Structures are given as structure tokens and as C-alpha cells.
Amino acid sequence: MREPPVQPDELQAAIEARKELGAEMEPALIEAFVERIERRLEEHGTASERALKARRNHQKEMVLGAMGIGVPLLAIGAIFTGLAGVIAVCAAIAIVAIVSTR
């Protein structure tokens, strides 16, 4: 479960600080609070982008690896079993591609 950008106790602390400091400090308090929220949202977005990039790299490696291994297997399957071997190797490559995307 993700952590919310602002904890309820942080919001309550900002409200209490506003009460103690008065209306003249309100713009500075609001600005500091909004900066904290923006920073946390930015950190969360950066983490999500890194996770997505890592996932895509893994998918690419799996598919390219399966295709790299599939080339010699296609040749061996074609020589020894004919069309059935070629179909089996192509099906295996397709299965790896589908499973790695999930």
C-alpha cells in the first residue's frame, strides 16, 4: 500500500502552527506545506518511472533471450522433426513473450 503524500498529523501540525503564528505567517506556512507535498509527489513519480523502466528492460531481455535461443532451436527442430519442431519452437518463443509481459 502506498504512503499518502501528506500524513494527517502533518496537516494538523500545519493548522496548529498557523493558529500559533497568526495570519501574517499563513502564506509562508502554506508555501512550505505545499512544497513538501510537491516533493513527495515528485519522489513517488520518479520511483514509479524507475520501476516501469526496470520492468520494460526485463521484458525486453526475456524476449530477446528467447529469440536468441530460438534461432538455433529452429534450425535443430527443422532438421530433426520438420514442421512440427518449428511450430513447437515458435510456440515456445510466443509463450515466453506473453508470460514476460504479465
Q: Is the pLDDT of residue 8 over 70?
A: no
Which tens digit of pLDDT belongs to each residue from 30-64?
787 788 888 887 777 787 788 888 888 888 888 88
Backbone region of residue 94 per phi and psi (left: phi > 0; alpha: psi in -120 to 50; beta: other values): alpha
| pTM score of the predicted model | 0.49
Specify the higher pLDDT residue, 5 or 94. Answer: 94
Write down the mean pLDDT value for the chain: 81
Question: Phi/psi at 70 (nearest 5 deg)?
Answer: -70, -30
The rounded distance, in Å, linking the Cα atoms of 15 and 67 is 59
* Region 75-87 average pLDDT: 91
* Angular region, 29: left φ>0, alpha ψ -120 to 50, beta rest: alpha
Give pLDDT, residue 1.
46
Better-scored residue on pLDDT, 22 or 99: 99
Euclidean distance between CA atoms 93 and 63, whole angstroms: 8
